[in-house]
Amino acid sequence: MDKNLSNLLKWSIEAQTAAQAGQSHSNGNTPASIEGPAPGSGAVATSPAPEVTAPGPRPIDPEVLASLFGGPSEAELMKAAIEVITDPSPEVTLENRLIAFDNFEQLIENLDNANLLEKLSLWTPLLNVLEHEEEEMRFFAAWCVGTAVQNNEKTQERLLAMGGVPKLVKLAMEEGETEKVRRKATYALSSAVRNYQPAMDVAAEEMHKRGHEVLVSSGNKKVDAADMDKVDEVIEWLRAKANSS
């Protein structure tokens, strides 16, 4: 990643972290002021306790701003976010990874940006995070997948081609997985299969392998991906299973 872009991203993360700390401080952590003694009481007056403010982000290097005059492209920001998310360095905290994930999810709400995932080779690293050891990382990865494929046949096709549907089914039905993650994987599956029959067929097959026989109706007919009532039945079953985990 370009050094200046990396510095800008780090500055952005620090700014968000400081803002969150400041908000928490203003919500009740500011020391109350101390009133002076009553006249004639003989007590020594005390000054109000100084208000502690959250430290702001370090000043950004003017050279960075100069080189990025006009701002980095959204494609560059997407790549930078994924680099932070997948960086194996212990110096990158979980908090910073989740901030990068939040930024990434907001970027791919845009249909054009979601379609860039393939061109930027971001599907593989994103789907790999579905198997991350940290619950929050799996949660955000499933969330981003669901956002990327919602009402978008092009990204639904890429998710299926990259092997993402079986991973989501596994995450949604895995014994021992947290309810939070299973529900978000179910959301991603809901976005992946609606109006896209190939993904619905694979999801049905994977769920059948894991013991959910309801998907196979009489005569071995497929669940119609365009029949929202039938798709809702599948998704509601997964949600109920997640709630019972």
Kindly report, residue by residue over 90-147, the tens digit of the pLDDT.
Answer: 999 999 999 999 999 999 999 999 999 999 999 999 999 999 999 999 999 999 999 9
Cβ(189)–Cβ(169) under 8 Å?
yes
Res. 216 pLDDT band, cuts 50 70 90: very low
- Percent of the chain beyond pLDDT 90? 62
Average pLDDT over residues 152-156: 98
Q: What's the CA gap between 225 and 194, in Å, rounded?
A: 5
Quote the Cα angle for 134-110-19, to 5°. Answer: 55
Res. 57 pLDDT band, cuts 50 70 90: low
Helices (H), the chain: 3-26, 62-67, 74-86, 94-107, 111-119, 123-128, 135-149, 153-161, 164-173, 179-193, 197-209, 228-243
Q: What's the CA gap between 111 and 74, in Å, rounded?
A: 12
